Structure 1
């Protein structure tokens, strides 16, 4: 059994790709995002940690949710409340936990052992996954951003692993992320902070560094193991793109891109998608972008992206002038306390400096525990 790891900035289509891949009869996927990469490397493969908090404490990652009936029920309740739609997790938590712990009990706690335990846990505890076990070729995991952040280390420990990075137009991705934030939390139209960082910078930082890391990983790991897929191509022509991915994986192309990990039709996971299946209109969010942002916000956002590689990929241009800077300085003030307003002004020019000149150094910073990005991941 080989592993596929899906990465990309959050809201880039990683959930959609996982569901589409899992419609292939030779692929099974892990149903939640996991935190294996960061937790494993941050804890230096500590076997005691991997047998305890990693798999039993939900704060350590969504993989722990599957080990407890209570945590599964709480997660289902939360998702139903957020999105107002039916949601279920067809997992036997006792079987999942027992299988994982059994694998770790006979191992030294290598990264291979952890992923073997998680994968085998799903195969033993989910009937749909079990039905595909006989012809299984790949087991697929998805984790936005941290997949590309630790791809180099992972590729050395798992030399057969494949990586797929999904890149999406930052305008559409920002719109999707902000719309989801507003839908769930019901904040004001212009939320201005994520973990004490300006919202616009927080998302631009993730877009810039995520794509930069993907390009670097593809060069270092090689195109045979590291593939970059554009979200827009995935949703506009799913058959062509998925056939390309199947051939890259050396699998027979499969045309029924409908069935997700629970045996249901694939769902893009986007707050804009009201029906199941692939939403071709999701490729562009320009109308929604204009509706939920203001002019100063858009100008600042596009300015942060214009010098980056992902900005050039999508033709994002910004024309900075005095009026734009004045608008941004004055904007939001009536929705912020004086302290927040001053804090934002003090950080904004440093934000511009970081993304313009220091983005290559950011990944090394976030590889350290408790020294993460601005909060958009």
Structure 2
């Protein structure tokens, strides 16, 4: 079947857990032409299989047996084969598959099903976490272990951000096929919103859509008394839960959520108020849907004061991880002006993967492949010399950015106009993308801002970590003034650059965990100790004029710490 017509009977619903996806699914299931069944759960697993098969094809290991096109046709057929018979048995034309985590693979489902439609549900993050906390309480009462994100606020914030960023990225990719539905608008103006939903799906509107709680739904078979009981499941749209978080959450929790989402362009575009005296979300839903959609899309895509940010991605035999790295750049809530990918003569499938993405995003991704290995510093300079943005940031092919990295670092720079460089906290992950540790876990002194020359030289940015800030974002003019990466050594060129930047400019800390730094057996951190010591000694010697220009007490402290490090 032509990929452009695959999925014409499918509707995929997704969003953060507790965002209102169940209400949307029950509304769809109330429509005479739609069957909205229980959660299928395994769409993400099928997409993960697709990724693995595509990866093996790109490496030339299984192309004897299949092509990407054949894989996609088979997997699309499998999904339709699982789902559509349920719609047929119910005598319905369309099948709506609602699993909240669907949103994380919307972009790939868009590729797989050229005619499917997608619904991304968003809700006030405070209300989401309040609902998650209720789930955790019910689970404990039943002797069940709840998912960590229902109790740990940091994890909940990360999940909400991840889902929102993925849904918005999919909408940008195919705005005519992805509709964002705001929970508060749906329950405040159910007729207007369900009419808008039907228009999007090219379906006639029916009054029954206003009363999904009055119809039996197949999804009730998964009721477990934890996520839903019958009373909560069979509800019509109502506004009683919009502000329930005010009674449920502690003031400290509200403050942390407000700080996390105050600058988010998607939520800001939909009118959420994250100030201390925030009005009700229901009170703010007063504009027509068409105007609100336009406002949200412009809030997420194009404020006039938004800078042009370039990102330089360097790779060398990064095939295991480079997809994750590129996807993290594409998922930014403040989109990059350009993505420059500089491949340093990879001998695995890295370049094939890069070429695939460059073909998909020709106006965004600029890809370069070196015919010989240049080394880290030369490869970085190659990318920075070609950057055209007002600001530039950098990432290695085995690391990842948080979806709000560019946005929150830009906000930090705007709050400190004198600063020319911004950096963030770092989460260490392993080869399987599992979190290992944070560089700053809230214990000890907060990472510094302002004149950070002394912390740079003494490598005391993060308690217990002898590193300096990494994956920073810098004004391109400031980088040009500091000079290029030193190509005479590969290790510690990050420290050398940090010294030169800190000697010239104020630097600001964003206060957020925005970088995933991967530790694995093939990373440069595993290079021989002798080479690391040699490069560090060379970097120190080179920067002695900058070091000795400081106050005598600082020079003495720097000398003591550097000597300890070399020993």
TM range (shorter): 0.5 to 0.7
Aligned equivalent of 2:236: 278
Q: 1:113 aligns with which of 70, 77, 83?
A: 77
Q: 1:40 aligns with which of 30, 43, 47?
A: 47
Alignment partner of 1:221 is 2:174: yes
- Distance (whole Å) between structure 1 residues aligned to residue 132 and residue 165 of structure 2: 20
Task: Map 1:1-377 onto structure 2 (within 5 A).
Answer: 1-42=8-49, 44=51, 110-123=74-87, 130-133=89-92, 136=93, 138-145=94-101, 147-186=102-141, 194=148, 199-222=152-175, 224-257=176-209, 258=212, 259-262=215-218, 273=231, 276-286=234-244, 289-312=245-268, 313-317=271-275, 345-346=442-443, 356=512, 358=514
Residue 239 of structure 1 deviates from its aligned partner by: 2.1
Residue 17 of structure 1 deviates from its aligned partner by: 0.8
More strand per residue: 2
Give the direction of change, closer, same or farther, for the CA distance of 1:16–1:202 in structure 2 (3 Å limit): same
- Distance (whole Å) between structure 1 residues aligned to residue 232 and residue 98 of structure 2: 23
Residue 303 of structure 1 deviates from its aligned partner by: 1.8
Structure 2 residue matching 1:110: 3-state secondary structure: helix
- 8 Å Cα contact 1:311/1:317 also seen in 2: no
- 8 Å Cα contact 2:72/2:112 also seen in 1: no
Structure 2 residue matching 1:164: 3-state secondary structure: strand
- Structure whose alpha-carbon radius of gyration is higher: 2
TM-score by length of 2: 0.40
Residue 40 of structure 1 deviates from its aligned partner by: 3.0
Number of aligned residue pairs: give it.
Answer: 260
TM-score by length of 1: 0.58
Deviations 1:210-235, CA, capped at 9 Å, x for gaps:
2222222211112x201001011112
Structure 2 residue matching 1:139: 3-state secondary structure: strand
- 8 Å Cα contact 1:305/1:311 also seen in 2: yes
- Distance (whole Å) between structure 1 residues aligned to residue 182 and residue 232 of structure 2: 22
Give RMSD over aligned pairs: 4.0
5+ residue gaps, structure 1, are 47-106, 124-128, 320-342, 366-377
- Distance (whole Å) between structure 1 residues aligned to residue 127 and residue 79 of structure 2: 32
Residue 261 of structure 1 deviates from its aligned partner by: 3.3
Give the direction of change, closer, same or farther, for the CA distance of 1:270–1:282 in structure 2 (3 Å limit): farther
- 8 Å Cα contact 1:22/1:260 also seen in 2: no
Pick which of 235-244 and 275-284 moved more.
275-284
Deviations 1:87-128, CA, capped at 9 Å, x for gaps:
xxxxxxxxxxxxxxxxxxxx98723112212114424xxxxx
- Distance (whole Å) between structure 2 residues aligned to residue 114 and residue 298 of structure 1: 44
Aligned equivalent of 1:101: none
Give the direction of change, closer, same or farther, for the CA distance of 1:298–1:344 in structure 2 (3 Å limit): farther
More helix per residue: 1
- Distance (whole Å) between structure 2 residues aligned to residue 42 and residue 157 of structure 1: 13
5+ residue gaps, structure 2, are 1-7, 54-70, 278-439, 448-508, 519-567
Aligned equivalent of 1:372: none
